[in-house]
């Protein structure tokens, strides 16, 4: 491959990477707005898990005042073809239940629950 061909190839890769980043951002914002609109009485948290090698995860979660998970959406994947899906096994479960603590996605769930709990604490401090 000539020098000009290599430069064109690298430019195409950079443009495709930017394009996929924009698509992923739009997907995340759409899911975020949908969860917030449908769960106005809960506390929202986000968890992320990105191993050095392997498939990353993002979790969007809503908990109520009793630490019950009211909404949970996960995305697993390496490409723009990955989509958020509702993660039913933990919905209507306590954040401290065995179903949540021993779940195969426990790392990302834990981080999302912690962030939602922090949001609840901040909200309660602000209303006192």
pLDDT of residue 27: 84
Range of 12's domain? 3-127
Name which of 26, 45, 39 is nearest 108 in CA terms: 45
Structure pTM?
A: 0.78
Q: Which residue has the tokens 């917030």?
A: 36
Tell me the CATH number at 31: 3.90.1010
The residue count of the chain comes to 128
- Total number of domains constituting the chain: 1
C-alpha distances in angstroms, 34 versus 16, 97, 115, 124, 126? 27, 26, 18, 24, 25
What would the pLDDT profile of 83-115 be if each residue is shown by its tens digit? 889 999 999 999 999 988 899 999 999 999 999
Asked whether the predicted pLDDT for residue 121 surpasses 90, the reply is no
Return d(Cα 78, Cα 122) in angstroms, integer. 34
pLDDT of residue 25: 82
């Amino acid at each position: 491959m000539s020098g000009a061909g290599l430069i064109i190839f690298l430019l195409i890769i950079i443009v495709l990477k930017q394009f996929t980043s924009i698509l992923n951002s739009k997907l995340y914002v759409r899911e975020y707005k949908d969860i917030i609109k449908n769960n106005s009485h809960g506390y929202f948290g986000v968890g992320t898990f990105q191993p050095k090698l392997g498939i990353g995860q993002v979790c969007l979660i809503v908990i109520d005042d009793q630490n019950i998970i009211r909404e949970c959406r996960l995305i697993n994947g390496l490409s723009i073809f990955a989509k958020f899906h509702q993660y039913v096994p933990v919905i209507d479960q306590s954040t401290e239940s065995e179903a949540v603590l021993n779940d195969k996605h426990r790392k990302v769930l834990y981080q999302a629950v912690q962030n939602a709990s922090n949001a609840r604490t901040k909200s309660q401090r602000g209303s006192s």
